[in-house]
C-alpha cells in the first residue's frame, strides 16, 4: 500500500481516535520514523514486526546498549544445568542485516516529547514519529533493607539476564557442603511471577545431586505465589525437606541483609548464609520515569494500542507497563509488541488495524522432565487488558504429560526467540 500520510489519516480503525491532528514526520519529509528503546522481549519483537510488515515503508531504529541479549527466560534452566549459557544468548545481527533495522548500541538517557527526539548517552539524539519503549525493569531503592546495587556482586539479584545469572550459578556451585542458600523474594507486581520459584526448583536440583545436605530458605513477603500448589507438590516430591519458605505470617516480609557479613535477618532471627539471592521490589525501566510517563512505579498504557496514557506518540511494552491483568513475562511483552506494531503501522502507513488480541503462557521446570504451565488469553477493554480465559497445570499429573509440557517449553523458547530476533 502506498498511501501518503494525508491520505491515510483517520483510516486506521482502532488508532483513529489517537490521530486527532495530522503528524508531520520527524525529518519533515521522507519515510516515517520509528525508534524502539530496548532490544528485549518487547522491543526486539516490535522492531522486527514493524520493519517486516511495513516492507521498507518505515525507518526503524533500535536503541539497545548490549550487543548480546541474554534471555531471563530459561536463565533458571541454565542455573539448573539444563541449558548452556550460549544457548540463551542472542545477537541483533539478523535484525540489522535481514530486516534493515538500524541497531544503535547505546543508552537512551531522555526523551524530548515536544521535539520528538530521544537523547543518547553517547551524545546526539534520534528523531521519531512514533517511539516504542520496552526498557524492562529497574529495582526500587531501599526495598530490601541493607541492599543496594553496590551489593549485587555479594548478593546477586540475577533478575536481569547475563553476568548476574552467571555469578549466581557460580556461587551456588561453590557452596560449602551443607551450606545455606537464601532467597529474598519480591513483592507483587514483579517480572515473571513463577520465576523465583522455578529458580528455587533449579537450585534444589543442583544441590540435591552435588550438595544434598544443603538448605534452601525463601523469605517471602507474599501470602501466596504463582503455581504454588504445583511447586510445593514438586518440592515435596523431589527435594523433600531441603526447602523452607517463610511467608509473611512468620516474618518473611521483614528482612534485613548484611552483604559484608553475609547474613540475612528474618524477623529478628539471623541466618548465616553462603549464597543470598536478593530479588528487590521492581519498577519500570528508568527511561519511562525520565520521560515523565510513569504513575507510581509503572507506565500506564491504552490497552487497544499500548500507547502511553500520557503521550499518544509513545507506545510502551512489557514489564514497564501498568496494563491490567497480564503478568510481566517475555511472552506477554512479545504479545503486546505485536499489537503495538500493528497500531504503529496503522497510524504511520494506513495499514489495516484489527482488534487487539493478547495471550500468555509461562512454563516452569520443577525437576528433570517435570514441567508445568499456566496461561491465559486477554482482550482490550477501555480501562485495562482484561483476562478472558485461562488454565493451569494440575497437581498429580502423570509423568508423560509433565515431560511433554517440558518439551513444549523448549519449542516455545525456540519459537519466541525466533519471533524476536528473526
Partner 1 sequence: MILSVLGGVALVLGTAYGWTARDHRDAELAALTDRLAQVEARSASLSEQAAQVSELEAKLSELEAALVAAQEEAEAARQAALAPTPVIESPAESEPEEDTVVAVADGLEFGDPEQGKAVFGQCSFCHKIGQGAQDGIGPHLNGIFGRRAGAHEGFKYSEDMSMMGADGLTWNLETLNAYLENPKALVSRTRMNFAGLEEEQDRADILAYLRQFSASPQNIPEAAPTAQAREVELPDDILAIVGDTDYGEYLSSECKTCHQQDGTDEGIPSITQWPTEDFVIAMHAYKQKLRPHPVMQMMAGRLSAEEIAALAAYFGNLD
Ligand X SMILES: Cc1cc2nc3c(=O)[nH]c(=O)nc-3n(C[C@H](O)[C@H](O)[C@H](O)COP(=O)(O)OP(=O)(O)OC[C@H]3O[C@@H](n4cnc5c(N)ncnc54)[C@H](O)[C@@H]3O)c2cc1C
Q: In what order do the strands lie in the sheet with 269-272?
A: 255-258, 263-266, 269-272
Between the alpha carbon of residue 84 and those of residues 87, 89, 214, 229, the distances in Å are 5, 9, 24, 29
375 binds partner 1 (CB under 8 A): yes
76 binds ligand X (CB under 6 A): yes
410 binds partner 1 (CB under 8 A): yes
Q: Give residues 340-369 in contact with partner 1 (rule: CB under 8 A).
A: 342, 352, 354, 357, 359, 361
376 binds partner 1 (CB under 8 A): yes
260 binds partner 1 (CB under 8 A): no
Among 180, 282, 329, 351, binds ligand X (CB under 6 A): 329
Distance CA 217, CA 399 (A): 27
Number of residues that bind partner 1 (CB under 8 A): 39
49 binds partner 1 (CB under 8 A): yes
334 contacts: CB under 8 Å, gap ≥ 6: 41, 42, 45, 416, 419, 420
CB 80 within 8 A of CB 365: yes
Residue 100's nearest CA partner among 66, 51, 31, 63 is 51
Piece of 172-180, 211-219, 328-336, 390-398 that binds ligand X (CB under 6 A): 328-336
Report what 410 binds from ligand X, partner 1, none; CB cut-off 5-8 Å by kind. Answer: partner 1
Among 33, 116, 227, 328, binds ligand X (CB under 6 A): 328
Between the alpha carbon of residue 333 and those of residues 72, 133, 248, the distances in Å are 13, 11, 30
Distance CA 260, CA 153 (A): 11
Report what 354 binds from partner 1, ligand X, none; CB cut-off 5-8 Å by kind. Answer: partner 1
Closer CB to partner 1, 298 or 406, in the complex: 406
60 binds partner 1 (CB under 8 A): no
CB 136 within 8 A of CB 321: no
370 binds ligand X (CB under 6 A): no
Distance CA 50, CA 74 (A): 26
> What's the closest the beta carbon of residue 202 comes to partner 1, in angstroms?
19
Report what 141 binds from partner 1, ligand X, none; CB cut-off 5-8 Å by kind. Answer: none
> What's the closest the beta carbon of residue 362 comes to partner 1, in angstroms?
11
Tell me the residue length of the chain: 422
Report what 69 binds from ligand X, partner 1, none; CB cut-off 5-8 Å by kind. Answer: ligand X
135 binds ligand X (CB under 6 A): yes
Distance CA 97, CA 89 (A): 18
Among 115, 269, 391, 395, binds partner 1 (CB under 8 A): 391
CB 390 within 8 A of CB 377: yes
The H or E element that residue 125 is part of is: strand 125-127
274 binds ligand X (CB under 6 A): no
Distance CA 347, CA 345 (A): 5
Among 34, 58, 108, 154, binds ligand X (CB under 6 A): 108
Closer CB to partner 1, 265 or 419, in the complex: 419
DSSP label of 394: P
DSSP label of 340: H
CB 384 within 8 A of CB 322: no
Q: In what order do the strands lie in the sheet with 180-184?
A: 243-246, 215-219, 180-184, 275-278
Q: Give residues 304-333 in contact with partner 1 (rule: CB under 8 A).
A: 331
Number of residues that bind ligand X (CB under 6 A): 39
Footprint of ligand X on this chain (CB under 6 A)?
37-43, 63-66, 69, 72-73, 75-76, 107-108, 134-136, 159, 191-192, 195, 199, 285, 287, 317-320, 328-331, 333, 362-363
Footprint of partner 1 on this chain (CB under 8 A)?
49, 53, 331, 334-335, 338, 342, 352, 354, 357, 359, 361, 373, 375-377, 379, 388-391, 398-401, 403-404, 406-412, 414-416, 418-419
Amino acid at each position: 500500500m502506498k498511501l501518503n500520510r494525508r491520505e491515510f489519516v483517520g483510516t486506521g480503525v482502532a488508532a483513529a481516535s489517537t490521530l486527532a491532528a495530522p503528524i508531520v514526520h520527524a525529518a519533515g519529509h521522507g519515510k516515517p520514523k520509528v525508534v524502539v528503546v530496548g532490544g528485549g522481549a518487547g522491543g526486539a519483537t516490535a522492531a522486527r514486526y514493524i520493519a517486516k510488515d511495513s516492507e521498507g515503508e518505515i525507518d526503524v531504529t533500535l536503541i539497545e546498549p548490549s550487543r548480546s541479549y541474554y534471555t531471563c527466560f530459561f536463565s533458571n534452566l541454565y542455573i539448573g544445568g539444563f541449558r548452556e549459557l550460549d544457548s540463551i544468548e542472542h545477537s541483533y545481527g539478523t535484525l540489522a542485516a535481514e530486516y534493515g533495522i538500524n541497531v544503535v548500541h547505546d543508552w537512551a538517557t531522555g526523551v524530548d516529547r515536544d521535539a520528538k527526539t530521544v537523547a543518547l548517552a553517547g551524545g546526539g539524539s534520534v528523531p521519531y514519529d512514533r517511539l516504542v519503549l520496552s526498557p524492562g525493569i529497574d529495582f526500587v531503592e531501599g526495598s530490601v533493607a541493607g541492599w543496594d546495587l553496590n551489593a549485587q556482586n555479594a548478593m546477586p539479584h540475577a533478575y536481569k539476564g547475563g553476568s548476574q545469572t552467571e555469578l549466581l550459578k557460580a556461587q551456588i556451585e561453590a557452596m560449602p557442603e551443607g551450606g545455606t542458600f537464601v532467597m529474598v523474594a519480591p513483592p507483587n507486581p514483579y517480572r515473571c511471577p513463577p520465576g523465583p520459584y522455578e529458580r528455587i526448583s533449579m537450585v534444589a536440583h543442583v544441590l540435591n545431586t552435588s550438595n544434598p545436605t544443603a538448605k534452601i530458605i525463601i523469605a517471602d513477603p507474599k501470602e501466596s505465589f504463582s503455581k504454588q500448589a504445583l511447586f510445593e507438590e514438586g518440592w515435596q516430591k523431589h527435594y523433600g525437606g531441603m526447602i523452607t519458605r517463610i511467608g509473611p505470617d512468620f516474618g518473611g516480609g521483614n528482612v534485613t541483609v548484611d552483604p559484608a557479613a553475609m547474613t540475612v535477618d528474618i524477623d529478628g532471627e539471623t541466618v548465616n548464609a553462603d549464597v543470598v539471592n536478593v530479588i528487590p521490589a521492581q519498577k519500570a525501566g528508568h527511561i519511562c520515569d525520565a520521560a515523565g510517563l510513569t504513575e507510581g512505579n509503572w507506565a500506564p498504557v491504552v490497552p487497544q494500542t499500548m500507547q502511553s496514557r500520557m503521550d499518544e506518540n509513545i507506545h510502551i511494552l512489557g514489564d514497564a507497563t501498568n496494563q491490567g491483568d497480564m503478568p510481566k513475562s517475555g511472552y506477554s511483552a512479545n504479545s503486546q509488541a505485536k499489537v503495538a506494531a500493528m497500531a504503529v503501522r496503522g497510524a504511520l502507513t494506513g495499514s489495516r488495524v484489527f482488534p487487539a488480541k493478547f495471550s500468555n503462557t509461562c512454563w516452569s521446570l520443577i525437576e528433570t522432565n517435570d514441567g508445568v504451565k499456566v496461561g491465559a488469553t486477554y482482550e482490550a477493554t477501555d480501562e485495562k487488558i482484561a483476562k478472558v480465559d485461562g488454565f493451569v497445570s494440575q497437581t498429580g499429573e502423570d509423568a508423560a504429560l509433565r515431560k511433554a509440557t517440558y518439551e513444549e517449553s523448549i519449542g516455545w523458547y525456540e519459537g519466541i526467540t525466533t519471533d524476536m530476533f528473526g
